[in-house]
């Protein structure tokens, strides 16, 4: 408090972080409030005469309170300031952190005993997280001219990405999915959204990553069964007939070669929000020493929002957008990559060349995600054991490069695999034409591809 009146450099650094409710003495609150008002208005430290006048003009301040405030200011003005600014800043930061945590705990007690009229129990984790994250961050933005060298180093540093095992997925993400991002799969019922996410989870696990799979639709055991089929290279139909000793031998073989961990957590449909996911991650960190590298949420439309209460006053656009924003915030806060999925509209389910307008319920979802990939399945593609992946949004690379590409699929083993794109040229902004291995148009593909892409192949 003393240095607020004597040390301008210190005051400018700490004033944005100091809150009135960190002080329990009413006189200290009054003096801080008036000092803040003066600095905000005149952009300089208040003098003794000016703060005295401001206090005398403060409405509702009785004589005893005024005299106490003036006495406090007298004390601040007369005493010398502390010269060790580094120590002063560190001590002030510690003070703010302790007071913020103290206030958050008190507020949590009020919530638990029912005396809080505005906050519910779901707000407690957020209150404590905000209190624990109090920090004096000196960074105020990127100076374009002064930070040119730093910017150049950023352009050339190798970003930590999590690689896919599918060539074209690595191509469209420049080498893998980055952390602090949120990606989403779009597909109709039965298109293979869960299959794709289960394959990705298995592939990332094989690369020794920690994977968290959150399911709100299927049982934990059913998700594990699909990943078993993928990693053990057994069809789903054969797993239940597999002798126990054979199954355990395969499980031990996986355990010996895989260094990462996979945790599958089931929540009831439409009951879990980011608040539950954060709590789960904290429990896993404390109890299992598990910190995920990537999270799968199956799927976003049946999550709950931690901010909005679903009801008649909240439309689906706002509600799904809120969930998407919360999930993307979780990715940034926890330094993880997150994948989820969403359904198409009724018309989009039958569309063989999906667009962003085919996303069901809320266009706020594609507005929020970093990447959205459509899964296109047709009878013709089923005959070839393939699915088409179409980029609908991509913040990682040029959307027009490899806009559409084929991926092989083994549904019995829940696996994806690379296929040659011989019968198809990936979209690069021009009209695509199926070709044969000799580079000329192939009549065998004309009808097949024109059906599900809506292209006229001549």
451 occurs within a structural domain: no
Task: For residue 195, give both structure tokens.
Answer: 């299959």
Q: In this structure, are 115 and 170 located in the same domain?
A: no
> Is pLDDT above 80 for 393?
yes
372 occurs within a structural domain: yes
Task: Pick the range with the lowest mean pLDDT from 100-104, 135-139, 216-220, 261-265.
Answer: 135-139
Query: What is the distance between the alpha carbons of residues 305 and 15, in angstroms, rounded to a whole number?
Result: 34
* Confidence grade of residue 445 (pLDDT, cut at 50, 70, 90): very low
Give the closest residue to 254 by CA, choosing from 281, 234, 237.
234
Q: Tokens 């593609």 belong to which residue?
A: 381
Contact assessment for residue 298 and residue 192, using Cβ atoms and an 8 Å cutoff: no
> Is pLDDT above 90 for 46?
no
Residues 6+ apart with CB under 8 A from 102: none
444 occurs within a structural domain: no
Per-residue DSSP letter, 46: P
Q: In this structure, are 91 and 197 located in the same domain?
A: no
Q: In this structure, are 182 and 319 located in the same domain?
A: yes
Give the closest residue to 47 by CA, choosing from 5, 1, 4.
5
Residue ending a domain, among 111, 132, 153, is 132
> Is pLDDT above 60 for 447?
no
Q: In this structure, are 336 and 197 located in the same domain?
A: yes
Q: What is the pLDDT of residue 285?
A: 92
Q: What is the pLDDT of residue 201?
A: 96
Contact assessment for residue 170 and residue 128, using Cβ atoms and an 8 Å cutoff: no
| Terminal alpha carbon distance of the chain | 80
Task: For residue 434, give both structure tokens.
Answer: 């199926």
Q: Is 360 helix (H, G, I), strand (E, B) or coil?
A: coil
Q: In this structure, are 187 and 125 located in the same domain?
A: no
Neighbours of 411 (CB within 10 A): 14
What are the strands, taking DSSP E only, across 250-366? 262-266, 294-298, 337-343
> Is pLDDT above 70 for 16?
yes
Position with higher pLDDT, 83 vs 37:
37
Position with higher pLDDT, 71 vs 121:
71
Average pLDDT value for the chain: 85
448 occurs within a structural domain: no
Per-residue model confidence as pLDDT tens digits over 301-353: 999 988 787 765 788 888 899 999 999 999 999 999 999 999 998 777 667 78
Q: Tokens 């709100």 belong to which residue?
A: 216
Q: In this structure, are 63 and 184 located in the same domain?
A: no
For range 264-285, the mean pLDDT:
92
Q: In this structure, are 339 and 260 located in the same domain?
A: yes
Tally: H helices and E strands in the chain: 18, 11
Q: In this structure, are 127 and 165 located in the same domain?
A: no
Full residue range of the structural domain in which residue 289 is found: 161-419
Segments in 270-315 forming alpha helices (H): 274-288
Q: Which residues pair with 215 in a beta bridge?
A: 266, 298
Q: Which CATH number fits the domain that encloses residue 46?
A: 1.10.860
Q: In this structure, are 273 and 381 located in the same domain?
A: yes
Q: What is the pLDDT of residue 449?
A: 45
Residues 6+ apart with CB under 8 A from 330: 274, 277, 278, 295, 336, 338
Which H/E stretch holds residue 161? strand 161-162
Task: For residue 306, give both structure tokens.
Answer: 């931690």
Q: In this structure, are 187 and 262 located in the same domain?
A: yes
Position with higher pLDDT, 156 vs 170:
170
Q: What is the pLDDT of residue 45?
A: 86
Taken as a whole, the chain contains a residue count of 458
For range 34-57, the mean pLDDT:
87
The verdict on pTM exceeding 0.95 is no
Query: What is the distance between the alpha carbons of residues 382 and 16, in angstroms, rounded to a whole number?
Result: 60
User: What is the total count of domains within the chain?
Assistant: 2
Contact assessment for residue 398 and residue 175, using Cβ atoms and an 8 Å cutoff: no
For range 381-398, the mean pLDDT:
92
435 occurs within a structural domain: no
Q: In this structure, are 62 and 204 located in the same domain?
A: no
Segments in 186-243 forming alpha helices (H): 193-206, 220-232, 236-239
Contact assessment for residue 299 and residue 359, using Cβ atoms and an 8 Å cutoff: no
Q: What is the pLDDT of residue 115?
A: 85
> Is pLDDT above 70 for 261?
yes
Query: What is the distance between the alpha carbons of residues 106 and 99, in angstroms, rounded to a whole number?
Result: 11
Query: What is the distance between the alpha carbons of residues 91 and 5, in angstroms, rounded to a whole number?
Result: 18
Q: Which CATH number fits the domain that encloses residue 202?
A: 3.40.50.300
Per-residue model confidence as pLDDT tens digits over 75-89: 877 777 677 878 888
Q: Is 315 helix (H, G, I), strand (E, B) or coil?
A: coil
Burial class of residue 387 (count of CB atoms within 10 Å of its CB; 0-12, 13-18, 19+): buried
102 occurs within a structural domain: yes
* Confidence grade of residue 439 (pLDDT, cut at 50, 70, 90): very low
> Is pLDDT above 70 for 262?
yes
276 occurs within a structural domain: yes
Rg, C-alpha atoms of the chain = 29
Neighbours of 334 (CB within 10 A): 16
Q: What is the pLDDT of residue 138?
A: 64
Per-residue model confidence as pLDDT tens digits over 107-155: 899 889 888 877 778 778 878 888 877 877 666 678 888 889 888 888 8
* Confidence grade of residue 235 (pLDDT, cut at 50, 70, 90): very high
Residues 6+ apart with CB under 8 A from 288: 261, 263
Upstream peptide bond of 56 is cis (omega within 30 degrees of 0): no
414 occurs within a structural domain: yes
Burial class of residue 118 (count of CB atoms within 10 Å of its CB; 0-12, 13-18, 19+): exposed
Q: In this structure, are 50 and 124 located in the same domain?
A: yes
């Amino acid at each position: 408090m003393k240095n607020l009146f004597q040390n301008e450099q210190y005051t400018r650094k700490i004033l944005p972080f100091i809150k009135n409710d960190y002080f329990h003495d009413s006189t200290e609150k009054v003096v801080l409030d008036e000092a803040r008002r003066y600095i905000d208005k005149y952009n300089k430290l208040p003098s003794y005469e000016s703060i005295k006048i401001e206090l005398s003009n403060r409405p509702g301040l009785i004589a005893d309170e005024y005299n106490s405030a003036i006495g406090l200011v007298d004390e601040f003005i007369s005493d010398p300031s502390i010269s060790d600014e580094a120590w002063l800043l560190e001590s002030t930061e510690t003070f703010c952190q302790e007071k913020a945590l103290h206030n958050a705990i008190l507020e949590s007690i009020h919530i638990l005993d029912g005396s809080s009229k505005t906050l519910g129990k779901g707000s407690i984790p957020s209150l404590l997280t905000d209190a624990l994250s109090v920090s004096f961050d000196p960074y105020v933005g990127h100076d374009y001219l002064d930070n040119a060298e730093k910017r150049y180093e950023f352009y050339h540093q190798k970003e930590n990405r999590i690689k896919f095992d599918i060539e074209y997925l690595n191509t469209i993400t420049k080498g893998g999915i980055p952390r602090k991002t949120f990606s989403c799969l779009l597909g109709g019922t039965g298109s293979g959204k869960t299959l794709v996410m289960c394959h990705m989870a298995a592939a990332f696990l094989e690369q020794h990553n920690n994977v968290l799979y959150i399911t709100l639709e299927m049982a934990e055991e059913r998700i594990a069964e699909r990943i078993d089929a993928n990693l053990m290279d057994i069809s789903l139909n054969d797993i239940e007939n597999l002798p126990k000793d054979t199954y355990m031998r395969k499980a031990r073989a996986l355990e010996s070669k895989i260094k990462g961990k996979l945790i599958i957590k089931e929540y009831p449909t439409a009951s879990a929000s980011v608040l539950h996911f954060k709590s789960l991650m904290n429990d896993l960190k404390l109890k299992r020493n598990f910190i995920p590298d990537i999270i799968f949420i199956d799927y976003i439309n049946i999550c709950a929002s931690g901010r909005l209460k679903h009801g008649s006053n909240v439309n689906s656009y706002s509600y799904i957008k809120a969930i998407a924003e919360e999930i993307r915030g979780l990715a940034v806060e926890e330094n993880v990559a997150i994948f989820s999925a969403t359904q198409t509209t009724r018309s989009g389910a039958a569309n063989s060349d999906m667009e962003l307008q085919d996303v069901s319920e809320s266009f706020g979802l594609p507005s929020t995600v970093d990447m959205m990939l459509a899964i296109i399945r047709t009878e013709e593609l089923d005959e070839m054991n393939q699915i088409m992946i179409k980029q609908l949004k991509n913040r990682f690379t040029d959307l027009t490069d490899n806009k559409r590409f084929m991926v092989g699929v083994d549904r019995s083993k829940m696996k994806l695999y690379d296929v040659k794109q011989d019968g198809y040229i990936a979209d690069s902004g021009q009209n695509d034409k199926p070709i044969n291995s000799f580079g000329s148009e192939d009549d065998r593909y004309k009808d097949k591809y024109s059906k599900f892409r809506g292209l006229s192949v001549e």
